[in-house]
Structure 1
Amino acid sequence: MAQISIRNVTKRWGAVTGVKGFDLDIAEGEFLVLLGPSGCGKTTTMRMIAGLEDITEGEIWIGERKVNNLEPKDRDISMVFQSYGLYPNMSVYDNIRFPLKVRKIPKEEHHDRVMKAAEMVELGDFLDRRPAALSGGQRQRVALARAIVREPNAFLMDEPLSNLDAKLRVSTRAQIKNLHHTLKTTTIYVTHDQIEAMTLADRVVVMSQGLVQQVGTPTEIYDAPANTFVAGFIGSPAMNLVEGELKGGVFTAPKMRVEGLPTAHSGAVTLGFRAEDAMVLAPGEPLPEGAAGGTIEAPVYTMELLGEATMIAVRIGEAIASVKAAKDYRAEIGDPAHIGVPASICHLFDQATGERL
């Protein structure tokens, strides 16, 4: 295990900047997730840590070593990619063993280390098979075992679950989390899937257009997004964001009014609230216990049955806002909806900059 320090790292290709001023210390044994949409710079950041991309500016340290000029093989890291990268002519056993041969680990250690890694990812019954005879989930587990067998200072994982179907993603995600709990190896994990980030990470780095937007625990990022980009990226569904005017603690927008907001700020703002925090009320029903806040009065735009709840959406100006109702709630498109929005659940952002107020 090792601490990894990324010190003001920038990557440019001519006039194009892929990553700008990335600065972060990753604790020994931490599971850090780089999260963002395609093209945000998360994979480029990981490739610079791995030594697969040159650094334009800044420094990267793994443990006590500055690794800017070290070859990937000398950085003592293991990588797991979206593509499994297995050797089709080798058995599962030999695929897992291969890194030990390359690194000239004494042969007498090979068998025990391969069996230990295979057992961790439940591959003991498949060691004689070739990759072609395995499912996608099993192949990814071979790739994980091949990374584990080296016992590296750090794991780097680049969207390792992207090629798996939804059910396999859930089970493999659980396996990765359990492996990290067992091995306690420093891990950097790249994904565009915010559910993976929220369930796996000790800390999440949200990126957009090469810049770090926010760093924090999953709870911190969910409960207090730093800006409208983070608010709109995290959550399923994402946070509702409604543009309007704020004056004297009262927010107004088409079909929406919320009172009692604890701020002296005035002017154009974006108000955010999460679908599960608002509530569908009966016509004329007040907020619970006279809580400060307000309502949205708008026709139902769409309705989705989720099993454990019903999701309805309404249009507020240019925004479409989603609200979770009880699982037995039913309405037709166009029916009037009466939605309660307590002031305590609201987030306010500067409309011009998107930054949290």
Structure 2
Amino acid sequence: MARLQLKNINKRWGAFVGVKDLNLDIADEEFLVLLGPSGCGKSTTMRMIAGLEGVSEGEILLGDQVVNHLPPKDRDISMVFQSYGLYPNLSVYENIRFPLRVRRVPKDQHDEMVMRAVRMVELEDFMHRRPAELSGGQRQRVALGRAIVRKPTVFLMDEPLSNLDAKLRVSTRAQIKNLQSKLKVTTVYVTHDQIEAMTLADRVVVMNAGEIQQVGTPTEIYNTPSNTFVASFIGSPAMNLIDGRIDGGTFTAEGMKIEGLKTKHSGPVTLGFRAEDADVCEADGQITGPVYSVELLGDATMITWRQGGALVSIKTNKDYRAEIDQIVDGSIPVEICHLFDPQTGARIALD
């Protein structure tokens, strides 16, 4: 049983709080992604799980055992780093074999275990090469092979794809997802890339300033963000957020009017909607104004307006064309709108 629990975890360096009151219950075989901007506390959280950082307060439980005071080598955890961490003087085979030697696994088991890992990361043709003779993607696969050569209780992955180019990220991301589904090992994955989080995770933990902002499935995080931070961090492009007023269910802002919102809330409000949930229209739209930019994305065209101090984007069909400064209307169905408190950023539930 590889259930991992973090209870009331705090991490401080003097007066600076890196992680505050963090509580997580990670199920056996779950793929959990810690997502957030640089400095949000996600890597610190991972390092505390690994035993590379001490916990100021709280408990980390692996199964039923509190592991706060166990050194990293006694936690039965494998970690994949952003920097690969390969031994330059060792071949691919020996790099993958190294954890077995350290843990004094009987030598007669090494070859079978190493070859199993080599096959899983598709490195059969590179076993005798050294890291300097490999591409970035191949080096990352060696690091993955080294992590999976024995079946640990937990995998920890700290931004393992950030050194790869865009094409390699896509293929390696798919390989990580496939490996985890086959190995069925509890995995905690750290990234600042929301696409990685959405495509890999069973659940996503969105963090900011050392605190959890929302925990949920990728669908929950995307469709019902808990606050404006999550709304603006998840999605490409991010959710449009427009400050205005709502009275009697009608939202108004410069160049915008949306009627029929089912809420008793009145006064200042932030309205949000996803670019792909709206569309351009011929006339009488909920947003009207001069086009700020037109971007052909291949499968769609992105039309952007400047609305007050913000840019508002709508995706439409790939054949749509408009000129800069041309007056265009946008259709924003009331059922796709989200409301947030402009002071706290918290989500306002619609009736």
Pick one of 287, 299, 303 that aligns with 1:296: 287
Residue 195 (1) aligns with residue 186 (2): no
CA distances 1:131-162 after superposition (whole Å, capped 9, x unpaired): 11100000000000000012100000000000
- For 1:333, the equivalent position in structure 2 comes to 324
The runs of at least 4 consecutive aligned structure 1 residues that moved more than 4 Å come to none
1:315 CA displacement:
1.1
1:316 CA displacement:
1.1
- For 1:316, the equivalent position in structure 2 comes to 307
Q: How does 1:191-270 map to 2 (within 5 A)?
A: 191-270=191-270
Give the 3-state SS of the residue equivalent to 1:109 in structure 2. Answer: helix
Give the 3-state SS of the residue equivalent to 1:299 in structure 2. Answer: strand
Q: How does 1:1-357 map to 2 (within 5 A)?
A: 2-284=2-284, 295-357=286-348
Q: Hey, what's the Cα distance between the residues in 2 that align with 1:14 and 1:224?
A: 36
1:298 CA displacement:
0.8
Q: Hey, what's the Cα distance between the residues in 2 that align with 1:204 and 1:283?
A: 40
Give the 3-state SS of the residue equivalent to 2:85 in structure 1. Answer: coil
Q: CA RMSD in A?
A: 0.7
TM-score, structure 1 as length reference: 0.97
1:64 CA displacement:
1.7
CA distances 1:251-283 after superposition (whole Å, capped 9, x unpaired): 000000000001000111100000000110013
Letter in 2 for 1:182: K
Give the 3-state SS of the residue equivalent to 1:163 in structure 2. Answer: coil
Q: Which runs of 5 or more residues in structure 2 are unaligned?
A: none
TM-score, structure 2 as length reference: 0.98
Q: Which runs of 5 or more residues in structure 1 are unaligned?
A: 285-293
Q: Hey, what's the Cα distance between the residues in 1 that align with 2:10 and 2:160?
A: 25
Q: Hey, what's the Cα distance between the residues in 1 that align with 2:24 and 2:154?
A: 16
Q: Hey, what's the Cα distance between the residues in 1 that align with 2:290 and 2:233?
A: 26
Letter in 1 for 2:106: P
Q: Work out the number of aligned pairs and report it.
A: 348
Q: Hey, what's the Cα distance between the residues in 1 that align with 2:40 and 2:244?
A: 29
Letter in 2 for 1:346: C
Give the 3-state SS of the residue equivalent to 2:243 in structure 1. Answer: strand
Work out the percentage of aligned pairs sharing the same amino acid.
Answer: 70
1:307 CA displacement:
0.9
- For 1:289, the equivalent position in structure 2 comes to none
Letter in 2 for 1:177: K
Q: Hey, what's the Cα distance between the residues in 2 that align with 1:191 and 1:337?
A: 38
Letter in 2 for 1:116: R
Letter in 2 for 1:109: Q
Give the 3-state SS of the residue equivalent to 1:276 in structure 2. Answer: helix
1:124 CA displacement:
0.8
Q: Hey, what's the Cα distance between the residues in 2 that align with 1:343 and 1:309?
A: 22
1:339 CA displacement:
0.2
CA distances 1:280-325 after superposition (whole Å, capped 9, x unpaired): 00134xxxxxxxxx61001101110111110010011111111001
Give the 3-state SS of the residue equivalent to 2:344 in structure 1. Answer: coil
